[in-house]
């Protein structure tokens, strides 16, 4: 039986609030869209938590044998300040302040975002479309919503008519909000007269003469509203209805509620079968956010330079720290938790190294120990298939790590284990640690700068040998050894190195 059939995955669907067995539209194929970053700022650790959640989701589906088409966008226009329909475009504002072209801002922060994703071993999506690359489609859907009477033009801008939509549909289906309450609680907007009602939201905004990011449209020069880009890019690449839509919990309303309304209004179909929301990373109980001033940048975390940190932590220890909680719970940052995570991560990686060196002994034996090993293997799948429970999966991996240490100490004899059981145990442990949870040895071994520096020292050592300066050659070898880097001399003066 294939892993896909053996391990049905359950997902807590924000649309129903219930845990449901995942049934893809196309068997064996998962279509997934996740709201990506707005590229006007460095990503902070909170953003990383959300992208990590969906990295795990896509990795696990792939591990089970699904084909996954994962689309994650880049918001490079249209996201206004305070997530509202008023104020300046976040990217245009940064460009104005730094006297740069908006696309210079976009390129700089997109590259920074990719670098952070790479450091945390968050795999790239299958498609990474940008809002500015889909202006035509955003204009087209806006026209369609106007034709259907679900939008109206006002002073060169176009707004979605929430009340009209709600006559035949349910605005609030995802967030549980009630439009009458929203009307009562909505704050006054400066250009209230442009919108018919406070809850209406922009599909297209008229550009003021000074607005730099602008495109021609049937309603004059302007730019798209924030929500419409995700509707356009998700349905363009995944179809009018696709399997999973994800994002941080804070995007549920208004962003995702508006996405549902726009897509349902345009196509008559619900766009998404399963909505998944990742909970917030908090600092002393408060959401980590740039505007609250409590955010850390990944580089501050690695270097330990932030005032709330007592030392630096590597990206893998941080990844481990985040995986110790379920994505649907809030996760509070703390030095103590990070320190514990660093220890736990090392323990797991040590067990991984040990296990890689153990080969199953030939011959089939059946024993109580074999059934214990089989149980642990099954539990990894059971916990991950239970709504991607990384916390419980890690707990099982620790039990497995103890068994691996028992094998090393001789408490358990390999000869008492059934060969197939051990082989499955081994491939499951390695697969869950490396492929599903994406944990790998801490980056010093992967750091390009470090590698380059070692190679340079090795070149100098070769040169010192040719010059018969053996004292220097030995010094380089011995000093590298003190740093945990072993240089081995091969044939014909070749040298290789490894980390101890």
Which residues are near Zn ion by CB under 5 A? 35, 230
- Tokens 């990474």 belong to 128
CB of 367 to ligand AMP, least distance (A): 46
Give CA–CA dist 422/414, Å, rounded. 8
CB of 62 to Zn ion, least distance (A): 23
The nearer residue to Zn ion, 33 or 321, going by C-beta atoms, is 33
CB of 479 to Zn ion, least distance (A): 51
Packing angle of the helix pair 135-147, 226-238 (nearest 10 deg): 100
CB of 405 to Zn ion, least distance (A): 45
Among 256, 287, 326, 426, binds ligand AMP (CB under 6 A): 287
Q: Which residue is nearest to ligand AMP (CB)?
A: 248
Among 24, 129, 172, 248, binds ligand AMP (CB under 6 A): 248
Among 9, 11, 30, 35, binds ligand AMP (CB under 6 A): 35
Longest dimension (CA), the chain: 88
Give CA–CA dist 377/386, Å, rounded. 15
CB of 422 to Zn ion, least distance (A): 46
CB of 375 to Zn ion, least distance (A): 41
Give CA–CA dist 45/49, Å, rounded. 6
Asked if 288 touches ligand AMP (CB under 6 A), the answer is yes
How many residues touch ligand AMP under the rule CB under 6 A: the total is 16
The nearer residue to ligand AMP, 280 or 396, going by C-beta atoms, is 280
> Looking at 42-50, 232-240, 352-360, 470-478, which segment touches ligand AMP (CB under 6 A)?
42-50
Asked if 38 touches ligand AMP (CB under 6 A), the answer is yes
Asked if 37 touches ligand AMP (CB under 6 A), the answer is yes
Give CA–CA dist 112/39, Å, rounded. 9
Residue 230 binding target from ligand AMP, Zn ion, none, CB below 5 to 8 Å by type: Zn ion
CB of 40 to ligand AMP, least distance (A): 8
Binding site for ligand AMP (CB under 6 A): 35, 37-38, 46-47, 49-50, 247-248, 250-251, 280-281, 287-289
């Amino acid at each position: 039986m294939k892993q896909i059939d053996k391990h049905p995955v359950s997902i807590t669907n924000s649309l129903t609030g219930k845990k449901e067995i995942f049934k893809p539209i196309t068997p064996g194929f998962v279509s997934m869209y996740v709201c990506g970053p707005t590229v006007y700022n460095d990503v902070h650790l909170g953003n990383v938590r959300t992208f990590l959640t969906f990295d795990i989701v896509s990795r696990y589906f792939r591990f089970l044998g699904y084909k996954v088409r994962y689309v994650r966008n880049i918001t490079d226009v249209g996201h206004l300040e305070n997530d509202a329909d008023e104020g300046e475009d976040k990217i245009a504002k940064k460009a104005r302040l730094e006297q740069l072209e908006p696309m210079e801002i976009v390129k700089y922060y997109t590259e920074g975002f990719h670098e952070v994703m790479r450091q945390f071993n968050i795999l790239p999506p299958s498609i990474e479309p940008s809002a500015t690359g889909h202006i035509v489609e955003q204009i087209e859907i806006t026209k369609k919503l106007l034709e259907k009477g679900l939008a109206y033009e006002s002073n060169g801008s176009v707004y979605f008519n929430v009340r009209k939509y709600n006559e035949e549909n349910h605005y609030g289906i995802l967030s549980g909000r009630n439009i009458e309450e929203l009307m009562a609680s909505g704050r006054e907007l400066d250009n209230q007269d442009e919108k018919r009602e406070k809850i209406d939201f922009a599909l297209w905004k008229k550009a003021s003469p000074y607005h730099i990011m602008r495109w021609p449209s049937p309603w004059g020069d302007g730019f798209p509203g924030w929500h419409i880009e995700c509707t356009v890019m998700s349905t363009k690449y995944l179809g009018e209805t696709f399997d999973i839509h994800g994002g941080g919990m804070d995007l549920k309303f208004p962003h995702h509620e508006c996405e549902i309304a726009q897509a349902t209004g345009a196509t008559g179909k619900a766009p998404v079968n399963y909505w998944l929301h990742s909970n917030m990373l908090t600092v002393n109980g408060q959401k980590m956010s740039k505007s609250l001033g409590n955010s850390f940048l990944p580089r501050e975390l690695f270097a330990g330079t932030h005032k709330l940190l007592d030392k630096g932590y590597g990206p893998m220890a941080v990844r481990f720290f985040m995986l110790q909680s379920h994505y649907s719970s809030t996760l509070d940052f703390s030095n103590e938790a990070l320190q514990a995570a660093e220890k736990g991560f090392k323990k797991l990686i040590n067990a991984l190294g040990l296990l890689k060196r153990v080969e199953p002994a030939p011959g089939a034996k059946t024993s109580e120990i074999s059934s214990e090993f089989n149980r642990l293997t099954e539990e990894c799948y059971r916990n991950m298939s239970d709504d991607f429970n990384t916390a419980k999966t890690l707990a099982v991996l620790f039990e497995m790590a103890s068994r691996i240490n028992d094998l090393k100490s001789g408490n358990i004899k390999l000869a008492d284990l059934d060969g197939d059981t051990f082989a499955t145990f081994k491939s499951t442990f390695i697969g869950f640690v490396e492929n599903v949870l994406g944990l790998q040895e801490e980056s010093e071994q992967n750091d390009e700068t470090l590698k380059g520096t070692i190679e340079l020292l090795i070149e100098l050592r070769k040169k010192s040998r040719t010059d018969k300066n053996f004292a220097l050659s030995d010094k380089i070898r011995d000093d590298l050894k003190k740093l945990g880097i072993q240089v081995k001399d091969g044939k014909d003066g070749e040298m290789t190195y490894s980390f101890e």
